[in-house]
Chain A
Amino acid sequence: MKISYAHMGTATYAVEALLSRLGHEVIVPEPPTQDTLTLGTKYSPEFACIPFKMVLGTYLEVLERGAEVLVSGGGMGPCRAGYYGELHKRILGELGYDPEMIFFWPPLKTPRAFLRKVKRLKENASWFRVLGGLRLLWEKIKVLDGLEQLSHRLRPQEINRGSISKALERALDMIREADTVDETREAHQRGEKLLRSVKVRDVDPDELLRVGIIGEIYVQLEPAANFYLEEKLGELGAVAKRSIFMTDFTKEDVLNLKDESIEELAEPYIPENIGGHGRDSVGETIHYAKEGYDGVVQLAPFSCIPEIVAKSIMPALSDKMGIPVLTLFIDEQTGDAGIGTRLEAFVDMMRSRRRALSRTAAPGAD
């Protein structure tokens, strides 16, 4: 069957590998553009958040390209996203599309339904093949995450602006072409070598600014939704450390193995899970402050409820922990230049703050 799904950062290519392994014709979604968002916004409720609109836009694009089946993850609340699949289905129905939609929920919570859906998706493929596909998926997710992380570390030191991004793109293509676990590993090594061969300035890593990225998962993972924030920070000379990578997400949200320490850190401020990643945002801010980061950028879709709760705690938290926090709420009106300007100002502020801190730490030093 012709199968497709929503774009979500580099994980898009890992999912492609799994589905084509199962013998499906995969229609790989393109990275969302402004047009995708405009299309999605047109048919979405006004106050749905940007992930809803961007995903709807992507669905419309892949349906035009002939997709018959749409696969998606889902949640159990209290964040709204858990219901998004149902509403997407209804909206697509009103527009005259009738794709089969398969939503996966955390397997440990609804094991039987999960198995039924897996069976539907595997069709005639053997279980052996499914296992092989899953291994390949996991391997790809791991190396894709690894390459991305490496690029975030290297970008602030690049000599020619854009050279790391270009190398990363080529490295990702290598991973995409790999058909087996071994080939993936080998492609990873080639990709890493390629990234490391880019000319960089020789700087002490301790001198680079470090920024933690926190917030809602979709706008963190989908660069098109956050205006390529990590690239922007890197080009401004700051190392971006994202809090969610697909590998962690799989462990925590898909397999339900929660990172207890982040929750414990957030406990005094928000004692209970409030849905989405609201509580994680608070815990991670504390974590980054303790690790000596220079600042935190909180990313969230406009009208995202859990992140609004987190944001209302941020001023007090930032004061108490002594870490600057920049909150960016993103909607379809947000502009690239606006984000750029705010990031520049934030990086300038972190830089002068660090200078001021080092002066007080070492009086007399220049």
Chain B
Amino acid sequence: MKRTAVIGIPRYLSYFSFGELWERYFEHLGFEVTISPPSNQDILDEGVRETVNDACIPIKLFHGHVKSLRDKADYLFVPRLGGTRTRYTVCPKFLGLPDMVKYSLSGLPEVLAPRLDVRQRSIGAWRELVKLGVQLTGRRLAASRAFAQARRVLADKVSEIQREGLPALGFPQPSDSDLTVGVVGYPYVIYDHLANGGLLEQLLRQRVSVRTPELVTDSQMKERSQQFPKDLFWFYSNRTLWSGLHFMDADRLDGLVHVTAFGCGPDAMVGKLLEMESRQRGVPFLSVMVDEHTGEAGVATRAEAFVDMLRRRLRGGSAS
């Protein structure tokens, strides 16, 4: 009998939002799934070497992840992520991702690039993924069933995160914290240790409770979206902005941290808006910009200074 085909999924970018779904889907269909390791220095170095130099760090890291899977899989799963044209979409780099990867890296196995809608429950994602499954296996019923099961796993995961907070994402909260800070940004920057120089761990180590956009429910986001006359178009940018507003207005957190990647186009807008909104409300705001040279020491220093300032403020000094 033929050996099981291996599908490689890069552990980066939208993997942080939809990874569980894809992994389970292909496993249910009878494939072996291999995920690239968590970002490491080799992956970053390879990414920087291969990617068009003007791209942002996340795109470079993604190329590194793809390259690390090059000889380990029969297929590479690099979805083309988009949205509906009029409502919102994603950064153009997500739309052109399979094209960038194909023309920047040589010797890749076949790239599977279904066009997926960023809204996980949407019919579009279902149709395209099932179509891909049928193409690969020829079994329509099995593909539909696999998708239904995989989708349930992801939905469970999402509600678990929203119920239990960061521990569900592998970051235990401190038990004796006196401060709560909102950390906003894209999941592939916030939760990737290499991309952000360990910012989350730094804050948690300093006994700060942390909340992130993944903890905010869709309806809470929607409520905040009413404050702007026009959505920002991009899926992740909307989430960053809305959860930032939610943390300031509804949760009344002690401070807000925006983590952004050097050269990120959408963040030029999001960062400025968050900065203006937090200034209006008198909420302390820290913007951390990360790039391929970001070191843990630099991030630690900034996080410490911010937390010190928040604590002084809490004790009654006006240090904002």
Contacts and interface: CB of A to CB of B under 8 A. Distances in A.
Interface string B35-46: 000000000000
Classify chain B: how many residues form its interface, as a range: 35 or more
A76 interface: yes
A83 B95 contact: no
A302 interface: yes
Interface string A275-307: 110100000000000000000000000111110
Interface in B79-121: 80, 82, 85-86, 88-93, 95-96, 99-100, 103-104, 115
B278 to A, nearest CB: 13
A109 B232 CA distance: 17
Contacts of B93: 305, 308-309
B55 interface: yes
A88 B82 CA distance: 26
Contacts, number: 112
A94 interface: yes
A107 interface: no
A270 B273 contact: no
Task: Output the residue of B55, B267, B272 with the most chain A CB within 10 A.
Answer: B272
Interface stretch (A46-54, A127-135, A355-363): A46-54
Among A45, A274, A278, A302, find the residue whose CB has the most chain B CB atoms closer than 10 A.
Answer: A274
Interface stretch (B134-142, B185-193, B245-253, B258-266): B258-266
Contacts of B298: none
Contact of A312 (B55, B90, B269, B276): B55
A79 interface: yes
A76 B230 CA distance: 10
Contact of A47 (B85, B95, B267, B273): B267
B276 A309 contact: no
Contacts of A276: 92
Contacts of A49: 265, 268
B271 interface: yes
A44 B50 CA distance: 31
Nearest to A312: B52
Nearest to A79: B92
A228 interface: no
A80 interface: yes
Interface in B39-62: 51-52, 54-55
A146 interface: no
A76 B86 contact: yes
Interface string A244-282: 000000000000000000000000011111111010000
A55 to B, nearest CB: 14
B233 interface: yes
B276 A77 contact: no
Contacts of B228: 86
A90 B272 CA distance: 10
B234 A302 contact: no
B229 to A, nearest CB: 7
A91 B268 CA distance: 13
Nearest to A310: B96
Kindly name the residue among A83, A269, A329 whose own CB sees the greatest number of chain B CB atoms within 10 A: A83
Contacts of B103: 269, 312-313, 315-317
Interface in A177-216: none
A140 B236 CA distance: 42
A111 to B, nearest CB: 14
A155 interface: no
A165 B272 CA distance: 40
Contacts of A76: 85-86, 233
Nearest to A93: B276
Contacts of A45: 268-269, 271-272
A32 B91 CA distance: 29
Interface string A35-70: 000000000011111001000000000000000000
A311 interface: yes
A275 B273 contact: no
Contact of B54 (A48, A77, A80, A329): A329
A90 B95 contact: no
B54 A302 contact: yes
B269 A311 contact: no
Contacts of A109: 86
A309 B96 contact: yes
A322 interface: no
B268 A86 contact: no
A271 B92 CA distance: 13
Contacts of B269: 45, 48, 80, 83, 87
B59 to A, nearest CB: 8
Nearest to A306: B92
Given A83-B233, A274-B95, A302-B54, A309 B100 contact: yes
A82 interface: yes
Nearest to B97: A309
Contact of B234 (A48, A77, A269, A274): A77
Nearest to A47: B268
A276 B266 CA distance: 13
Contacts of A311: 52, 54
A88 B268 CA distance: 13
Nearest to B235: A78
Contacts of A308: 52, 54-55, 93
29 contacts: A46-B268, A48-B269, A76-B85, A76-B86, A78-B89, A78-B90, A80-B265, A80-B269, A82-B233, A86-B229, A86-B230, A87-B273, A90-B276, A270-B99, A271-B99, A272-B80, A274-B95, A278-B96, A303-B54, A305-B265, A305-B266, A308-B52, A308-B55, A309-B95, A312-B51, A312-B103, A312-B104, A313-B103, A329-B54
Given A76-B86, A270-B96, 10 more contacts: A78-B90, A78-B233, A80-B266, A87-B269, A94-B276, A303-B263, A308-B55, A312-B51, A312-B99, A312-B103
What 9 A-B pairs come out closest when comparing CB atoms? A77-B233, A309-B96, A47-B268, A312-B52, A45-B272, A45-B268, A78-B89, A274-B92, A275-B92
Interface of B: 51-52, 54-55, 80, 82, 85-86, 88-93, 95-96, 99-100, 103-104, 115, 228-230, 232-234, 262-269, 271-273, 276
